[in-house]
Chain A
Amino acid sequence: MKRFVVVAVPMLAGVTIGLLWWQPGTEHSASVQAEPAALSKTEESGQGLELKPGSERRLGVFKLVHGRDLSLSTADTTDGKSCLIESGEADADSSVCLEDGLFTLRKVAFSVDSQGGPQRFSELHVPGVVASGVRSAEILKTDGSSASLDLSSEGAFVYESPESDLEQAIYPNGFRLYGPSGRLAETVHFPTGP
C-alpha cells in the first residue's frame, strides 16, 4: 500500500499541474492563460431573452456550404416580442426580436450574419422567414443582380453569399417577395450594405 501511495501521489500532482497549464489551442491562444474551455451552446445563449413556454416553432435545419448545420426557429418572449432564433454547431447563437409580431413592418424577418471585416467579409449568410402569404422570394445584391430563395414548407430560408461575390464585395441588400399569384407583394431594402 505504501508503494502505491508513493507512486499515486506524484502522479496525481503531475496530472494536476498538467491540467492547470493545458488549454486547447486556438488562434487567439497566445493571449489566454490557464482558462477553462469554451462553454456549451446551451450555457451561452440568450440571457437577455425570456421565452414564453410553448411558443417555439421549429422552422428547420439548413446545411451550409462548409457542411455546418444551422437551425432556425421562432418564439415569443414574455415581454411581447416575437423572435427569429438561429443556432448552429459552430455558429454563434443569435436572434432578432420585433415588437407586435415578426411581420408587422415587413413580410420577411431576417438578419445578416457575417465573419471578417470591417473592410471585407470572409463569410456571410442571411437566415430568415417569410410571412404566410409569400410564395416565392428573391434576394437582391449590391451589383444589381438577384438570386431566388429556396423557401422551406415553413417559409424559412438561409441564403449564403458565394465566395466569388465576397471577393468582389458584392453583398445582399434586399428582398423581392411574391404572393400566390406571382405578383410582387413587397420589396424590402437593407438601409445600407453590410
Chain B
Amino acid sequence: MRRLVLALAFAALLLAALGVGKGAADTFYGYTSPGTWFSSGQGYGSVYDNICSRWSENHFSKGGSAWGLITFIDSGGGWHDSMQGFGWIHRAPSSLNWTKKLHCRNNSGVGYQGGCFGYRHAYQCA
C-alpha cells in the first residue's frame, strides 16, 4: 500500500512538473493607448495568442455616441464573435482554445477617441 501511495504521489508531482493546469488570473493588455484617435474606418489589432496565453475578452472603451466594432480574428483572417454598438462594448469568445487576435474598429462615418484592450488567460506551459 505504501508503494502505491508513493506511486500516486509521484504521478501527481509529474503532472505538476509538466505544467498541466490553469494559471493565474487573467492579465490586462491594452492594444491601443487610452484616448487613441480613431478616424472613420480605422482599426487596431493585438498580437495573436498562443497555447500558453489565450485572449479571453475584448473591450472597446469609447463615448456613447461613438459606434464601433470588436471581433476575434483567427489565423486565416476570419471573424468570430463580433459585436457592434455605441459606448463601451465588451465581448468574450465562445471558446478559448483556438489561435486568435483581438481587433477593434471605428466602422462609423465620423472620428472619435477611444481605447481597446483585452484580457489574456495564462496557462502553465511545460
Q: How many chain A residues touch B (Cβ–Cβ < 8 Å)?
A: 60
Query: Is the beta-carbon distance between A39 and B78 smaller than 8 angstroms?
Result: no
Interface bits B21-39 vs A (CB < 8 Å: 1, else 0)? 1100010100000000000
Residues of A within 8 A of B3 (CB): 5
Question: Size band of the B side of the interface?
Answer: 35 or more
Residues of B within 8 A of A37 (CB): 97
Residue of A nearest to B68 (CB): A191
Residue of B nearest to A23 (CB): B97
Query: Is the beta-carbon distance between B99 and A16 smaller than 8 angstroms?
Result: no
Instruction: A4 to B63: give the CA distance in the assembly, Å.
Output: 67
A114 interface contact, C-beta 8 A: yes
Query: Is the beta-carbon distance between A96 and B98 smaller than 8 angstroms?
Result: no
Residue of B nearest to A85 (CB): B90
Tell me, rounded to whole Å, the shortest Cβ–Cβ distance linking B40 to chain A.
Answer: 9
- 10 of the cross-chain contacts (CB-CB < 8 Å) are A1-B4, A20-B18, A46-B90, A48-B57, A90-B94, A92-B81, A93-B91, A94-B89, A95-B89, A115-B81
Residues of B within 8 A of A (CB): 1, 3-4, 7-8, 11, 14-15, 18, 20-22, 26, 28, 51, 56-57, 59, 63-65, 67, 69, 71, 74-75, 77-99, 107-110, 117, 119, 121, 123, 126
Residues of A within 8 A of B (CB): 1, 4-5, 8-9, 12-13, 16, 19-20, 23-24, 26-29, 31-39, 44-49, 81, 90-100, 104-106, 110-118, 121, 190-192, 194
7 extra interface residue pairs, beta carbon distance < 8 Å, beyond A5-B4, A92-B91, A113-B81: A13-B11, A32-B97, A94-B90, A94-B92, A96-B85, A115-B82, A191-B110
